Amino acid sequence: MRKNFVTSKPNFENELHPPWAKFLLLHFVTLEKRLCSISNKSAPQDIIPTSVLKYLLKTFPAMFTDAINCVLCSGDFPNELKHGMVMPLNKKSDEVNELKNYRPVTNIRSMAKLIEKAVLGQIEGHLLSNGLWPVHQSAYRGNLPTETSLIFCLEAIQKSIDEL
């Protein structure tokens, strides 16, 4: 097995890639964690089912790590992975005839999900480590339920009432 997965790193110091757009090279252990967080459901356009992809990743970790690191370093997301299938999903199972009860869900390929999770993990890490994420932001964050925001709002309202 090779010791170095990526032999050269492109220079991001140009106007096409501003300094904040640098992504760290992904280690296969991190990649495996990201893959485990993806459900085994496969999109209709997937050539390889997600369960098989997970097996292949454990068998050939360097190959997948190299592929994702190429995307992270180049900033070019493969065109083949940009397509998804949008399907309506019923929010309320008992009212199937109302269009307002449906929300669009896009099924994307498993490899696209994996790249998305790799990028998301680095963006979240950057936002948190640099204090750029609002303290009371609870949407789209793990381990911070919306109940936390509700409690904060209720406490702010109660404080305002008490100050009257």
pLDDT digits over 9-45, tens only? 444 444 455 555 678 888 888 888 887 888 888 888 8
Give the mean model confidence (pLDDT) for residues 148-160: 89
Q: What is the pLDDT of residue 3?
A: 42
pLDDT of residue 2: 38
Q: Which residues pair with 17 in a beta bridge?
A: 14
Give the model's pLDDT for residue 19.
52
Does the pLDDT at position 158 exceed 90? yes
pLDDT tens profile 82-93? 988 999 998 877
Cβ burial of 76 (10 Å; 0-12, 13-18, 19+) is exposed
The whole-chain average pLDDT of the chain stands at 81
- Could you give the CA distance from residue 14 to residue 19 in angstroms, rounded to a whole number? 8
What is the Cβ-side half-sphere exposure of residue 102, based on CA atoms within 13 angstroms?
11
Whole-structure pTM value = 0.70
Which residues touch 120 (CB under 8 Å, ≥6 apart)? none
Question: Domain coordinates of the chain in residue numbers?
Answer: 19-133, 135-164
Q: Pick 65 or 35 by higher pLDDT.
A: 65
